[in-house]
Amino acid sequence: MCKSRYLVVTACAVLTVAALGGSASRADLISYTAALSALGESPPTSPGTGLAQIDYDGTLHTMRVRATFSGLLGNTTASHIHSPTAEPLAGNAGVATTTPTFAGFPLGVTSGSYDNTLDMTLASSYNPAFITAHSGTIAGAEAFLASSFAAGKSYFNIHTNQYPGGEIRGFLQPIPEPSSFFLAGAAAVGLLAWGWRRRKLVE
């Protein structure tokens, strides 16, 4: 009984270490996701929904932006990321990324999808006012935006002609790296299997 308990505790420890190790090895690429809805908008009356994902690579200095949305009451006029809010997961902020909208974002529609990668070393990937407010350099703006992502102070917003201030939005939050969990799980299963075989030999 004690041996079995020891194996379970050890497996959990391996799982934790493997997960942390996996995250560290991929620290240059961090993914964030946001469930888009009218919550937080004013007024929050739209039935529209969507999902956005941001993949930020601090080594390559790129940001892949993906989004899907449907059920909007108005036709899209713009979409971008706002940052930083005063508090995590609440409040409003100015536009941080490309103005007036992400390049190539579908406009004049109530549903659609988007997938584009921004070069974060280019001034065109930011709102000029955001660069000015954060050291006046592109590098400073990128660093501040990355820290805002990590702090939960950035949200993805889709604006429409019916709701110029934004029809649906969602705060970006980090998502686990699937490969870390897979590797950690495989290690834990392997350890438990080794322990089971050892126990059978002893018996």
Q: Is residue 100 part of a domain?
A: yes
Give domain status of residue 117, yes or no. Answer: yes
Token pair of 109, please? 């529609």
Q: Is residue 84 part of a domain?
A: yes
Position with higher pLDDT, 184 vs 142:
142
Q: What is the pLDDT of residue 25?
A: 42
pLDDT tens digits, one per residue of 110-142 = 999 999 999 999 999 999 999 999 999 999 999
Domain-embedded: residue 13: no
Q: What is the pLDDT of residue 178?
A: 56
The string of pLDDT tens digits covering residues 53-72 is 999 999 999 999 999 999 99
pLDDT band at 164 (very low <50, low <70, confident <90, very high): very high
Q: pTM for the full model?
A: 0.75
pLDDT for the residue numbered 137: 97
Going by C-alpha positions, the residue among 97, 52, 102, 54 that lies closest to residue 77 is: 102
pLDDT score at 186: 47
CA 9/CA 152 separation, integer angstroms: 33
Q: In the chain, where do the E strands start and end?
A: 29-36, 49-57, 62-70, 76-82, 112-119, 155-160, 168-171, 173-174
Q: What is the spatial distance between Cα 163 and Cα 135, in angstroms, rounded to a whole number?
A: 32
Closest CA to 72 of 115, 107, 98: 107
Q: CA 183, 186, 187, 188 torsion: positive or negative?
A: positive
Position 7 in a domain: no
The answer to whether residue 8 sits within a structural domain is no
Whether residue 85 is predicted with pLDDT greater than 70 in this model: the reply is: yes
CB 117 within 8 A of CB 63: yes
Q: To the nearest whole percent, how much of the chain has pLDDT over 70?
A: 73
**Residue 16 is assigned to a structural domain of this protein:** no
Q: How many domains does one find in the chain?
A: 1
Q: Within a domain: residue 85? A: yes
State the average pLDDT over residues 48-52: 98
Domain of 110 in residue numbering reads as: 28-178
Over pLDDT 90: what percentage of the chain?
69
| CATH number reported for the structural domain that contains residue 140 in this entry | 2.60.40
